[in-house]
Amino acid sequence: MYVDNVHYREYQRLLVELHALIAARRNQSPEASELRHHMERAEAHLSEEEIVRLNALSADLSMTHDREIPDPDVVARVPAGEVRQLVESAYNRRKWEDVLEFLRAGVSHRWREDEVAYLRSRAYEGLGELAPAVAFMDEAARRAPNNASYRALSLRLLWQSKRYQEAYSRARDYLADGKTKPRLVLMSGGIVAQRAIQIPEPADLNTVANVAVRRMQQALPIETSPDVIFTGLVSLGLLAVQVDDASAAADAFRQALGVDTTYDEQVTSSWALNRELELVRSGKAKPAEERSNARQLAEFIQPAPVAVPA
């Protein structure tokens, strides 16, 4: 896999940053120049095949500043009338390289731009290339500001990329915004709950956790998906422990035990939930030495399932 090469990953990250600067009309800035210098250093360790593939990524990223053009090679090879079907078929079979290639045939009249960005994000994620996956999901969110699912997916991808503080900062902003949709509130609460059991804790954790608890308590009754309700309740319980609200924590864990999820790990999660409930009741849930159970519980905080756009 391309991502096995550390220099490939580094170049890819830099390329994503460079296109972000171009999109921000800072192509001529000292920062852009610095990025290109770093890219050149990484280039020395890349094969021609890797350069060609990164060039294709660069072409994909051009959509973030409205400069994308179809790849003439793909246009010549793929019948225009079949592009949509080919993309859908490749997507359903998880042939991620094919998805990316067919999308280069020029598909702007077949899908909305946010959908193209979404498909690219899922394809790069499927290939384990998370830097472009985040960039394209952010692009989808930019193109469709009212679609909370894109923002929720970006949060998850950031966390998966180990960009924890960035994910936490975004989650904090979503929680502070009264207009944030309930599903994104729950996702944001999940990010804060996971960040809360990392060391060192963010300086503003208790303030943010208090906001998260309040917002999640409002959002949960509106949610209908059992899996999202379950992870929301687990997150809420962990955050309530964080803000020393034992009653809210116990209530959330008890409710979580009653949710019928589709998770394979439902049995093991119930063990951890029962243990956490005991710790809360005995007033021992918060000390650092008891957080190992909380860490285990946090592993069950899964992303909200998001449907593929039609």
Partner 1 sequence: MPKVYRSMFENAGRPRIGNDTCELGVRPPGHPVNADVNVDASGNVMLDGGGMSVFPSIVPADLKRIPKRLIPVRLAGKVPGAAGDDDMKIWMTGTGAFASGPMTPTLALNVTGRSHGTICPAHAMSLNDLQTNLATTQPDWTVEEP
| Residues in contact with partner 1 by the rule CB under 8 A | 15, 18-19, 22, 27-28, 32-33, 36-37, 39-41, 43-44, 48, 51-52, 54-62, 67-73, 104
- CB neighbour list of residue 124: distance below 8 Å, 6 or more residues apart: 96, 100, 130, 132, 133, 136
Identify the sign of the CA torsion 133, 72, 41, 22: negative
Least Cβ distance, residue 11 to partner 1 (angstroms): 9
Task: Please report which residue ranges of 243-265 form alpha helices under DSSP H.
Answer: 246-257
Closest contact distance (angstroms) between CB of 35 and partner 1 is 8
Contact between 219 and 177 under an 8 Å Cβ cutoff? The reply is: no
Q: Which is nearer to partner 1, 138 or 251 (CB)?
A: 138
Distances (CA, A) of 135 to 62, 86, 151, 198: 11, 24, 11, 25
| 164: nearest Cα among 30, 260, 42, 298 | 298
Q: Which residues contact 267 (CB under 8 A, 6 or more apart)?
A: none
Minimal distance, residue 139 CB to partner 1, in Å: 15
Closer to partner 1 by Cβ: residue 120 or 170: 120
Give the shortest CB-52-to-partner 1 separation in angstroms.
6
Find out whether 64 and 20 touch, Cβ atoms under 8 Å: yes
Considering the complex, what minimum distance in angstroms separates the CB of residue 242 from partner 1? 43
**Nearer to partner 1 (CB atom), residue 13 or residue 215:** 13
Least separation in angstroms between residue 254's CB and partner 1 is 54
* Of residues 76 and 267, the one with the C-beta less far from partner 1: 76
CA trace torsion 33, 114, 163, 206 (10° rounding)? 130
For residue 140, which of 155, 157, 130, 154 has the smallest C-alpha distance?
154
Residue closer to partner 1 (CB basis): 61 or 158: 61
Residue with smaller CB distance to partner 1, 2 or 263: 2
Q: State the nearest-atom distance from the C-beta of 28 to partner 1, in Å.
A: 6
| Closest CB to partner 1 among residues 62, 198 | 62
> Which amino acid makes up residue 190?
G
Residue number, 60 or 276, with CB nearest to partner 1: 60
CB of 44 to partner 1, least distance (A): 7
CB 242 within 8 A of CB 294: no
Report yes or no: 222 and 182 within 8 Å, Cβ to Cβ. yes
| Residues in contact with 266: Cβ distance below 8 Å, sequence separation at least 6, in sequence order | none
101: number of CA atoms within 13 Å, CB side? 14
